[in-house]
Structure 1
Amino acid sequence: MKSIKFEENETILSPPDVCDFIAFITSGSLRSYHLDDQLNEMNLLLRSENEFITDYESFISKQSAGLRIQAIEEGEAILLDKNDLDKLYDESFYWNKFGRILSEQIFINSKRRNEQMLFRTPKQRYLDLIKHEPEFFQRYSLKHISSYLGITPQSLSRIRKQIAESEQNQYS
């Protein structure tokens, strides 16, 4: 394990590098995102203190990363190196269990995120985010939130306006 410090907007991982770490964030925040051919960014994860972030596919396959990881705020993280973690898995029941639990959590989060993007409307995704992750709105910019929701900032603005008008009409 090694501790790193990162500055706001600093890139921690970008293709074609292989992701050989899992980062545990001790302060600040990071995002993982995809950059398409038109240079549009799509946030996959927004993570902060006491959360993990990685490109898990690259981490497991030892192939080029498909995601980028960038600092949103300055901070620090502890990097768990792939080779060292594999040794710990082999030598310790505790670390082997840790790896299994981590993999299960990554799977569950990925499944939920896929279902959300496939089966929920942008408005439903926004309302779910307010309900389940209200701290996002204090921590992340609306630009990052809209990208995380898979919509444009303009669409997010329209959704927020519709909800505000609906609530205002409810109390009139």
Structure 2
Amino acid sequence: MAQFNRYDSLIDLSMIKSYCREKGSLCLYAKEEHFVQQGEVGKYLGVVESGYFKYAVITSSGNEAVVGFAFEGEIVSDFYNSYNRYPSEITIKAGSASSVSQIRMSEARELINTTFDGNLSSLNGILFNEIYVRYLELYRKTPTERYIDLINQYPQIFDIVSLRDIASYLLITPVYLSRIRKNITINTGE
């Protein structure tokens, strides 16, 4: 699957990924097992080797809302909060049985400082941009347009991620997502 997170193509993270693979531990996560728990300081940064992780928050009504994903070959971490030793605002958990080459955040902190010469503004700026663009898309596009963008960029996503999690990521209900998919199928004559 194409890189899901844009930051991965905007900044060179190859050194960090190589370090995780060469010096880190390969850890297995069962489906739903936490990598980071909301309210706790994240302890690790890693590269997803198999499976995927979903980033989620608990809403005021107690429901889980999916806000992002990390797929094979991508970094998995609540970077900003973990790096700064703040409690996480999100939970990151395995969306399927997954494996991660991971290092402790203290090690990652040193590596990142060396890689970026202590200047994290470029990395933070790119991470901010990713979040900002997603936020603006919620206002610029209808749910149908966001769905079409998602399947055009990541046609295999429905083979990997549950309909419920995709609907949550698009900020719609699974029923509404099914309706969108049905309407598109009818309109394209498939």
1:124 matches 2:145: yes
1:10 matches 2:30: no
What are the residue-to-residue correspondences of 1:94-113 with 2, within 5 Å? Answer: 95-96=115-116, 103-113=124-134
Paired residues of 1:32 and 1:53 also in contact (CA < 8 A): no
Which of 79, 86, 90 is the equivalent residue of 1:67? 90
Tell me the CA shift for residue 40 of structure 1: 1.4
SS of the equivalent of 2:41 reads coil
Output the aligned Cα RMSD: 2.3
**Greater Rg over alpha carbons, structure:** 1
SS of the equivalent of 1:31 reads strand
Partner of residue 174, structure 2: 153
Tell me the CA shift for residue 5 of structure 1: 1.0
Structure 1 stretches of 4+ with a deviation exceeding 3 A read 99-105
Name the CA distance, whole Å, in 2 between partners of 1:88 and 1:96: 9
Name the CA distance, whole Å, in 2 between partners of 1:65 and 1:112: 22
Q: Where does structure 2 lack aligned partners over 5 or more consecutive residues?
A: 1-23
1:68 partner letter: T
Partner of residue 52, structure 1: 75
1:84 matches 2:107: yes
What CA deviation, in whole Å up to 9, does each residue of 1:138-166 have, x standing for no partner? 11111111011111001101111221222
Tell me the CA shift for residue 57 of structure 1: 3.3
What CA deviation, in whole Å up to 9, does each residue of 1:111-143 have, x standing for no partner? 221122232110110000011111212111111
Q: Where does structure 1 lack aligned partners over 5 or more consecutive residues?
A: none
Name the CA distance, whole Å, in 2 between partners of 1:59 and 1:155: 35
1:115 matches 2:136: yes
Name the CA distance, whole Å, in 1 between partners of 2:34 and 2:98: 13
Tell me the CA shift for residue 65 of structure 1: 0.9
Name the CA distance, whole Å, in 2 between partners of 1:56 and 1:88: 13
SS of the equivalent of 1:19 reads coil
More strand by share: 1
Tell me the CA shift for residue 30 of structure 1: 0.8
Partner of residue 185, structure 2: 164
Name the CA distance, whole Å, in 2 between partners of 1:84 and 1:161: 48
The count of aligned residue pairs is 166
Distance of aligned partners of 1:60 and 1:86 in 2 relative to their CA distance in 1, 3 Å threshold: closer
Partner of residue 43, structure 1: 66
> Alignment identity in percent?
24
